[in-house]
């Protein structure tokens, strides 16, 4: 009887060791899966979208040469977009604000492209979206050839009669 009891204890210890080994393998596999999921989520495109969003924010804050009301009070790009939407004129330039908006945006994008050699192509559009029903384009600038996917960002400017949406899409050159 003693011999049989000894053999049962050895079997139980062996089974416990096997269960422990399987549990360790399962935990390691779960840790590896979590690591893979986290590393897949943080793609370079996410970082580039953030960069594009930062470019767009900087563009919206840039002061222009257009004064809608009087000379020393110049509009930034965001205010110029609103002025274009309401068909106002740049009083100091005797020019429609929409014409000056297109010139300004072309200049800013051209400067960005010169300072950042990684930009292969870009597309900038300013749209008036009325509750998703219809949209009209206030400005549109596109240049360059894109061989990879474009990465974009957008900013919504709230106006009295709808939303003005500014979209910047950038294609990185290789």
| Sequence ranges of the domains in the chain | 43-172
pLDDT at 168: 86
pLDDT at 25: 93
Which letter does DSSP use for residue 76 in this model?
Answer: B
pLDDT at 20: 87
pLDDT at 85: 85
CA angle 90, 91, 95 (to 5 degrees): 45
Between 97-115 and 44-61, two packed helices, what is the crossing angle to 10 degrees?
Answer: 140
Render pLDDT for 67-91 as a digit per residue (tens, 0 to 9): 887 777 888 888 888 888 888 888 8
Q: Which residue has the tokens 């204890």?
A: 9
| pTM across the whole model | 0.65
CA–CA separation, 133 and 161 (whole Å):
13
CA angle 143, 149, 155 (to 5 degrees): 70
Handedness of CA 140, 63, 113, 153 (dihedral sign): negative
The answer to whether the CB of 63 falls within 8 A of the CB of 80 is no
Render pLDDT for 38-51 as a digit per residue (tens, 0 to 9): 777 654 554 557 88
Q: 7: helix, coil or strand?
A: helix
CA–CA separation, 118 and 39 (whole Å):
24
For residue 53, give both structure tokens. Answer: 């969003």
Which letter does DSSP use for residue 105 in this model?
Answer: H
Low-confidence residues in the chain, pLDDT < 70: 1-11, 41-48, 130-135, 159-161, 174
Architecture (CATH level 2) of domain 43-172 = 2-Layer Sandwich (3.30)
């Amino acid at each position: 009887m003693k011999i049989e009891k000894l053999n049962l204890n050895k079997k139980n210890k062996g089974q416990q060791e096997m269960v422990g080994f399987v549990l360790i393998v399962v935990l390691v596999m779960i840790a590896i899966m979590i690591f893979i999921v986290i590393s897949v989520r943080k793609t370079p495109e996410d970082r580039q979208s953030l960069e594009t969003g930062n470019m767009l924010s900087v563009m919206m804050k840039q002061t222009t040469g257009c004064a809608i009301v009087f000379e020393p009070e110049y509009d930034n790009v965001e205010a110029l977009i609103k002025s274009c939407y309401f068909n106002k004129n740049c009083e100091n330039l005797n020019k429609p604000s929409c014409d000056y908006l297109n010139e300004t945006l072309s200049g800013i994008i051209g400067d960005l492209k010169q300072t950042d050699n990684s930009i292969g192509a870009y597309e900038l559009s300013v749209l008036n979206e009325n509750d998703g029903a219809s949209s009209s384009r206030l400005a549109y600038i596109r240049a360059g050839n894109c061989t990879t996917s474009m990465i974009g960002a957008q900013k919504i400017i709230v106006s009295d009669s709808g939303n003005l949406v500014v979209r910047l899409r950038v294609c990185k050159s290789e």
